[in-house]
Amino acid sequence: MIQSSTSMMKKERQTLIMKQINLHNRALSSDLSIMLNVSEDTIRRDLNEMAEEGKLIKVHGGALSKSYHFNYPTTETYAASAKQVIAHKAVSLIKNDMFVMIGGGTTVGELIHQIPMDISATFFTVSLLTALQLCDHASATVIFIGGTIAKTSQISAGGEVISRLADIRADLCILGANGISFNEGITETDMETVQVKRAMMKASKQTAILTISEKLDSVQRLRVCDIDEVNYLITELDPESTNLKTYRRNNLVIL
């Protein structure tokens, strides 16, 4: 909770809402209500107004960042320069002939822009946006694991997707993180995303988490996995940064 509603003007409240949506790509009305100490009706009015102004995408139960749109200009991506640094580091993990499980989000989108156009790897994804972006790589094989699209996360979800993922043996899983902390591990806001991410990790030999440092030590409601289950942690920071001190473990490579 940030402060009482009596001391917060609407403009300030909406700035904080936009900050959360930019940082995590989406936000639930219920979480914003608790964080800002206002009613959900107030949050819904704010989200409706901000959607009409073209600042976000209103969905049932909350809102999404406009970055979920396929034609969203990358120059407007939140923390774009940091995500470019992360992508530059992460692209070194992808080699020809690899089977790569890859998620969605703006950081992953930046990574795709930096993957060599002649890469001959095979990519599996539950994100339709990621699949479309990867189609520009003529030598790559792109396999979309389709199913019911979860509107809050805009990925395929459900039992059929989990079952199909179980039949894959990938070399590497690349995922973004909604929340990450040493004690709570990788966390998410909705169970559908948690289940799919767990299945993607289980289907892969190694997992790389891509996240801007602003998300370090943040926690969402639902746990995806412990830090011990991650092989690579990639941020825009120097690997020796003091902000990463608590994440340094024998089995975790920090890039």
pTM, entire model: 0.81
Task: Quote the CA–CA distance of 125 and 173 in Å, as a whole number.
Answer: 10
**Cα atoms found within 13 Å of the Cα of residue 34, Cβ hemisphere only:** 5
Give pLDDT tens digits along the chain (255 positions): 454 444 468 888 988 888 888 777 778 888 888 888 899 889 989 988 888 888 888 888 888 877 665 555 555 678 889 999 999 999 999 999 999 999 998 899 999 999 999 999 999 999 988 999 999 899 999 999 988 887 767 788 889 999 999 999 999 999 999 899 999 999 998 898 999 999 999 999 999 999 999 999 999 889 999 999 999 999 999 999 999 999 988 789 999
DSSP assignment letter at 248? -
222: Cβ contacts below 8 Å, ≥ 6 apart: 187, 188, 189, 190, 191, 194
Which domains does the chain show, CATH number per domain? 5-64 (1.10.10.10), 75-254 (3.40.50.1360)
Cα–Cα distance, 207 to 172 (Å, whole number): 6
Class of residue 9 by CB neighbours under 10 A (exposed 0-12, middle 13-18, buried 19+): exposed
- Residue ranges in the chain assigned as alpha helix (H): 10-24, 29-36, 40-52, 80-90, 106-114, 128-134, 159-165, 191-202
Beta bridge partners of 156: 149
- Per-residue pLDDT at 22: 78
